[in-house]
Structure 1
């Protein structure tokens, strides 16, 4: 059980790319067995980044990156790519942090030692007499999910930058058409080149924004699911501890 998502997070999750990610097979499942291993989430992120780096290398060898930069004078595609790289690096760091918290919770389940972790503070706080478990659960949920909201917002910005590029591209196309006073067949090649320039900006920025939105959304969705399982397991361990404590209480007067 985790704290309810904020309205801002719900609005961000309705983005087209994030909505598509939510319907991919396995995106909303509980943590996989490999993620449950020691730093498994981080290792899975490394494998995903390796695939993306290999694909980027193939595109570079094919000259796609050079043509992409040349075809987009607005440089919005470069901004989107840099934003994706930065957010993906943060997602890897977050996967490492969540993995350490998972290890600490597993240690608490087996040995009862739960010092120096989010779940440890939660278990220690809820074990106090008269403790408000709902308040402690909100604190744990904020620590597990709160940092993800900014990443989801930046993920939506990628898509919006792509749409901004589409608007700029079609605006350039409309301006070129507006400046056309007469059609000269001898200048048709130059005319088509000027008209397709705006269309190229619109398509390239939109495709780049959508691709970045989907790939980053996939990483953030797995982080959310892992954090959900962390909060749920910590709550289950707290309830089990309370049940064990209640079972040793005398029932008679």
Structure 2
């Protein structure tokens, strides 16, 4: 790796570690606050009531319920990742401030000299496994440099795996919106399927039914697209925070801890 690319990587990692305590949680709270304000305005302007009353297929209600569940799941993941991010930040900061720190395992827990036991967290388990991996490689005289990358990939799967259900739900909401579009057009076209005469009264009823079907198509599409984009924004925040944590964990192990383990 060139010195320029290494400098860029170090800068990105340092930015991630200096993001601040509970940066992810605060960002999500700001996002949620703005969304709640927009929903309040929409309710006061009768936009939401018009949405649910016009949608004769009731798909918009299903999309809303899925979005509420997705937001609840996202809130739990935000709290979890915010805690994990703080642990990565604190431990990484300590290691950078103490270049001569030593890492070992005691009582089946990772321990840093001068710091004590690493709290039970993703970072703590990663450091624990890093020491065990180094001890195993040393015992069999194996210097496979890909092993550490395999380890970080395992933790990446653990960290980002629970978010896959969120992306699946995001896709489902989008598909439901498109399904509502089809249902609305079927309702609109079905209103003219069995016309026997074209008097004024009949035409008025047909236009009302067509308008209702078109409203169903448009409102369900709007609900599906809006909910899908809002959910995707939240899970993008989660994935971005996860990537920053993993980059910081890998960087601190490759640059600071593995050389210290090799010298031990």
In the superposition, the TM-score normalised over structure 2's length comes to 0.77
1:44 counterpart = 2:48 = no
Q: Is the 8 A contact 2:13 2:248 kept in 1?
A: no
90, 110, 124: which one aligns with 1:107 = 90
- Which structure has the larger Rg? 2
* Distance in 2, Cα, partners of 1:215 & 1:66: 20
How many residues were matched structurally? 220
Please, which runs of 5 or more residues in structure 2 have no aligned partner?
Answer: 1-11, 95-111, 138-146
Distance 1:33 1:110, change over 3 A: closer
Q: Between 109-118 and 72-81, report the one with greater CA deviation.
A: 109-118
Residue 87 (structure 1) aligned with residue 70 (structure 2): yes
Shift of 1:238: 1.1
| Matching residue of 2:136 | 130
Quote the Cα distance in structure 2 between the aligned partners of 1:35 and 1:79: 41
| 1:41 CA displacement | 0.7
Aligned to 1:211: 226
1:141 paired with 2:124, answer no
Tell me: CA distance 1:205–1:58, structure 2 relative to 1, closer, same or farther (3 Å). same
Question: Which structure 1 residue ranges, 5 or more long, are not aligned?
Answer: 1-28
Cα displacement (A) at 1:197: 1.1
Q: How many angstroms apart in 2 are the aligned matches of 1:80 and 1:191?
A: 28
SS in 1 for 2:136: coil
Instruction: Establish whether residue 172 from structure 1 lines up as the match of residue 187 from structure 2.
Output: yes
TM-aligned CA deviation for residue 34 of structure 1: 11
* Alignment correspondent of 1:5: none
Change over 3 Å in CA distance of 1:201–1:30 after alignment to 2: farther
Q: What secondary structure is seen at the aligned counterpart in 1 of 2:119?
A: coil
State the distance in 1 between where 2:173 and 2:17 align.
30
- Aligned equivalents of 2:31, 2:47: Cα separation in 1: 21
**Residue 201 of structure 1 pairs with residue 187 of structure 2:** no
Change in Cα spacing, 1:159 to 1:151, as seen in structure 2 (3 Å) is same
Which deviates further from its counterpart, 235-244 or 147-156? 235-244
Query: What is residue 119 of structure 1 aligned with on the other side?
Result: 123
Tell me the distance in 1 between the aligned counterparts of 2:17 and 2:40. 27
Name the SS of the counterpart of 1:144 in structure 2. helix
Q: Contact conserved, 1:30 with 1:226, CA < 8 A, in 2?
A: no
Specify the alignment match of 2:55 in structure 1. 72
User: Retained in 1: the 8 A contact 2:16–2:244?
Assistant: no
Note the aligned Cα RMSD (angstroms).
Answer: 2.3
In 2, the alpha carbon distance for the partners of 1:207 and 1:35 equals 39
Q: Alignment partner for residue 258 of structure 2, among 231, 242, 246?
A: 242
Quote how far apart the aligned CAs of 1:130 are.
3.0
TM-score (normalizing by structure 1): 0.80
Q: Map residues 186-197 of structure 1 onto 2, 5 A cutoff.
A: 186-197=201-212
